[in-house]
Amino acid sequence: MKKSVAVPPVVEERGAPSVRERILQTAATLFYQEGVRAAGVDLVVERSGVAKTSLYRHFATKDDLVVAFLEREDAEYWGNWDSISAQHKDDAAAELEAHLRFIAHHIAEPRYRGCPFLNVATEFPEPTHPARAVALRNKAELHRRLDVLAKKMGIRKHGLLADQLVLLIDGAYMNSQLLGDKGSAHPLVVAGLALMLAAEQR
């Protein structure tokens, strides 16, 4: 009788992305560039070079993969925001202008394909869809942070200014998806500063 030989576990190369990360990175690129509904699980499997069983081991459903994609986008979004905030700790007006300029620069980039949260919310209008909940949370947090900045600036109607800025920013996200660098990148900053000035005079 042959003696069984133990098979050593597969060890990831040091510095190489994990299977989960490779799947998520591939899915994120496809979802953002082509749309969630257009990018099926089979395409994610093909582009990532992993077995379908491996994908479902890490993400039980495609919805889980979409949620993970948006969760990562959300973390990156607020990571960028916090980095800008740290540079303007004592000047809320300067911080707000810096955020607007960062967004304006981002939406003018050639690879820009819109706000991922708005894109997914458009593709999945069902209120109960789990990815939509992540999108709503991101937009609620954007409003909250803008409201905090408006309060720090001494704006009496700070909630109103936050409302207006959210509409302005989301409008710029959608407009630039269509028009690219010919869209609302530059007007975004100008309009945002105008709203801040008007709010200070109320």
6-10, 24-28, 181-185 — most confident range: 24-28
User: Are residues 33 and 123 located together in one domain of the fold?
Assistant: no
pLDDT in tens, 177-202: 877 666 677 899 999 999 999 998 87
Residue 4 pLDDT: 41
Residue 5 pLDDT: 39
User: Are residues 101 and 147 located together in one domain of the fold?
Assistant: yes
187 and 128 Cβ atoms separated by less than 8 Å: no
User: CA separation (Å) from 180 to 128, 136, 189, 200?
Assistant: 32, 25, 16, 32
Least confident of 5-14, 29-38, 67-76, 104-113: 5-14
Handedness of CA 143, 202, 97, 95 (dihedral sign): negative
Say yes or no to pLDDT of 26 above 80. yes
10 — pLDDT class (breaks 50, 70, 90): very low
**Average confidence (pLDDT) over 52-60:** 95
- DSSP labels, 2-19: PPP-PPPPP-PPTTSPPH
User: 48-59 burial, b if ≥16 CB within 10 A, otherwise e?
Assistant: bebeeebbbebb
What does the alpha-carbon distance between residue 83 and residue 75 come to, in Å, rounded to a whole number? Answer: 12
Query: Does residue 6 sit within a domain?
Result: no
pLDDT in tens, 130-153: 999 999 999 999 999 999 999 999
User: Are residues 105 and 131 located together in one domain of the fold?
Assistant: yes
Query: Does residue 9 sit within a domain?
Result: no
Does the pTM exceed 0.85? yes
User: Are residues 99 and 174 located together in one domain of the fold?
Assistant: yes
Mean residue pLDDT of the chain comes to 90
Query: Does residue 3 sit within a domain?
Result: no
What does the alpha-carbon distance between residue 37 and residue 6 come to, in Å, rounded to a whole number? Answer: 43
**Average confidence (pLDDT) over 38-60:** 96
Residue 181 pLDDT: 67
Q: Residue 67's domain spans which residues?
A: 63-200
User: Are residues 67 and 120 located together in one domain of the fold?
Assistant: yes
| Residues near 141 by beta carbon (within 8 Å), at least 6 away in sequence | 78
